[in-house]
Structure 1
Amino acid sequence: MTAPVQLPVPSEGEVTVLMPVWRGDRPERFAQALASATIEQTEPPAELVLVIDGPLGEGLEAVVAQVEDGAFGPARVVRASAHEGLARALQRGLEACRTDIIARADADDLCRPQRLALQRSAMEQGGLDLLSSAMQEFSDSTPRGGGALRTRPLAHQEILDYLPRHSPFHHPAVMLRRSTALAVGGYRALDFLEDYWLWERMLLGGARSANLPEVLVDYRVDADLFARRGGWRMFVSDLRLQRIFRADGLIGPGMLALNLARRAAYRFAPGWLRRIGYRLVVERMR
């Protein structure tokens, strides 16, 4: 029986890419996302931590086998026997990472080649704990570089001012410090909003933050994206998170009412109107 390959322990300052995958992902997109976040980077990560959230189909397992064979560089695979959801998958991965600097990546978006180099440099020079960047949308009908931009406030104080109204970071483009995230409890289960809740706890806990103006991730937008962002289940998560913000002192009763009114209008609008609303409201709230 062949002994498992012993991976070298990453050095201080090196980066781990953390990527979850589940049965709903598509093998060809998964393989492209993996390559973009690892071997296609100008400064490849020290390691990839791939979290498998429950059973996968044959096509996805074939890509995982490539990961285990080293096709995407040094990697470790963390498996959950049953589908547990994104928050639990990411928490498993966060706990498994061996570097303090972690770059989040999704299994269908594409990182631009300079992403890790630019973000790592900014993290170190700015003494940052939490950093994201702009993203640009693409789809099967819209090529990379041709879609709408998604931006967020750049400076730390602007981010703090923006936090009560909307998530100030793009999750697929985030780089964070593992120690800072774990100190506030890491990812906790909250449907669709586990990232926003983590940012709130990190920032209230004193995390230093910024956003880069450069587009470092191409964000895949399929036909159903905005349809999935609506409905009662999403609004219930909104309600829970806004109550947490109120209890934490981030917002007062007036902002609570205003935020819930805005989110109700957004969640219960038709999908086509929700797309327009995102462009006109969220992207212009800065």
Structure 2
Amino acid sequence: MPGFSLLLPVYNGDSAEFLLRAYRSTVMEQTLPPSEVVLVQDGPVSAPIVSAIAELDKSTPVPLKIVILPENRGLAEALTAGLAECAFDVVARIDADDVSEPNRFTVQLDLIAQGYELVGSGLREFTETEAGEQLGVRRIPPTDPEEIGAYARFHDPFNHPSVVYTKAAVDKAGGYQPLGMMEDYWLFARMLAGGVRAINSPEALVRYRVSSGAYKRRGGLKLLKSEWMLQRAFRASGFTSRAQFARNIVVRGGYRLVPEWVRRRAYRTLIVGDTEATAR
């Protein structure tokens, strides 16, 4: 298996407790751990997060590079800064509040070794309550490489916290570019348009933390503006047709304006194309 870097952005809105859990699951509990971790601190963070990073720096079993940005620059710039520090061409992503399953990289790096340049996976939503961790729906995007491109014209074809990719493929597509909260979708679209070899594992290799305000944050005028910018970028680049542009504006744009309870019901079918209801 090739060596690979783990890219982990952290900002002031993250939880120190969740960061520690994300790191341990993605580094210390893996059957195939990363060769290094590049942690990007995106601007000033709270004292608990500073302490958590210091704790990780002392206890990590693999090299940890800490990149500190003096001001909060947003996800696109944070990931760009982190990618520049990654020593390996193969890079895995994780967010500071999610959890990786122990076999995640064993599965995904095997696909990278087969020649794929962009490898995602399914994920499982979860919440934490006083009774413990409660598992929710599985979100499984298309696994057939030929279906991913067609799916991407309406849905984000990859769960961003689950991806492993090559820096060469990311650089070829122009890297992360600021676009509201749609930087990952825009990058993946450009990678697909450029002919990247891409696949998704059907296994839910990441547990995705869902907070009580998750569906509220997916709506509103700010998200509508980001959606509009994304769809205009898709159309201008030729990634979508005029008909697809109009459909996306009406359906995806309208989704940002409906009441939260409607958004909650519509999210998995209209936006992420979910395939399985809650397990427990």
Q: TM-score, normalised by structure 1?
A: 0.92
Would the alpha carbon gap of residues 81 and 158 (structure 1) be closer, same or farther in structure 2, given more than 3 Å must change?
same
Query: Match of 1:130?
Result: 118
- Is 1:86 the equivalent of 2:75? yes
Residues 14-63 of structure 1: per-residue CA shift (max 9 Å, x gap): 11110000111111111000101101111111000000000111100011
Give the ranges of 4+ consecutive aligned residues of structure 1 lying more than 6 Å apart after TM superposition. Answer: none
Query: Match of 2:140?
Result: 151
Secondary structure class of the residue paired with 1:13: coil
> Equivalents in 2 of 1:55, 1:229: separation in Å?
25
> 51-60 vs 269-278, which deviates more?
269-278
Question: Given residue 130 of structure 1, which amino acid in structure 2 is its aligned partner?
Answer: L
Would the alpha carbon gap of residues 123 and 229 (structure 1) be closer, same or farther in structure 2, given more than 3 Å must change?
same
> 249-258 vs 69-78, which deviates more?
69-78
- Is 1:194 the equivalent of 2:189? no
From 210, 220, 234, the equivalent of 2:209 is 220
- Is 1:29 the equivalent of 2:45? no
Would the alpha carbon gap of residues 181 and 74 (structure 1) be closer, same or farther in structure 2, given more than 3 Å must change?
same
Question: Given residue 16 of structure 1, which amino acid in structure 2 is its aligned partner?
Answer: S
Measure how far apart 1:143 and its partner are: 5.3
Question: Given residue 261 of structure 1, which amino acid in structure 2 is its aligned partner?
Answer: V
Q: How many residues align?
A: 274
Measure how far apart 1:70 and its partner are: 4.0
| Residue identity (%) | 38
Measure how far apart 1:66 and its partner are: 1.9
Q: TM-score, normalised by structure 2?
A: 0.94
Question: Given residue 219 of structure 2, which amino acid in structure 1 is its aligned partner?
Answer: G
Alpha-carbon RMSD across the aligned residues, in angstroms, is 1.6
Query: Match of 1:209?
Result: 198
Query: Match of 1:6?
Result: none
From 117, 127, 132, the equivalent of 1:139 is 127
Question: Given residue 193 of structure 1, which amino acid in structure 2 is its aligned partner?
Answer: M
Residues 38-97 of structure 1: per-residue CA shift (max 9 Å, x gap): 011111110000000001111000111123224352110011001111111011111111
Residues 233-260 of structure 1: per-residue CA shift (max 9 Å, x gap): 1111111111111111121211111100
- Is 1:13 the equivalent of 2:2? yes
- Is 1:229 the equivalent of 2:214? no
Query: Match of 2:56?
Result: 67
Counterparts of residues 97-112 of structure 1 (less than 5 Å): 97-112=86-101
Query: Match of 1:46?
Result: 35
From 198, 223, 243, the equivalent of 2:232 is 243
Query: Match of 1:5?
Result: none
Secondary structure class of the residue paired with 2:211: coil
Question: Given residue 139 of structure 1, which amino acid in structure 2 is its aligned partner?
Answer: T
Would the alpha carbon gap of residues 22 and 159 (structure 1) be closer, same or farther in structure 2, given more than 3 Å must change?
same
Instruction: Provide structure 1 residue ranges, at least 5 long, that are not aligned to the other structure.
Output: 1-11
> Equivalents in 1 of 2:271, 2:182: separation in Å?
16
> Equivalents in 1 of 2:16, 2:94: separation in Å?
15
> Equivalents in 2 of 1:143, 1:94: separation in Å?
35
> Equivalents in 1 of 2:256, 2:168: separation in Å?
34
Question: Given residue 36 of structure 1, which amino acid in structure 2 is its aligned partner?
Answer: S
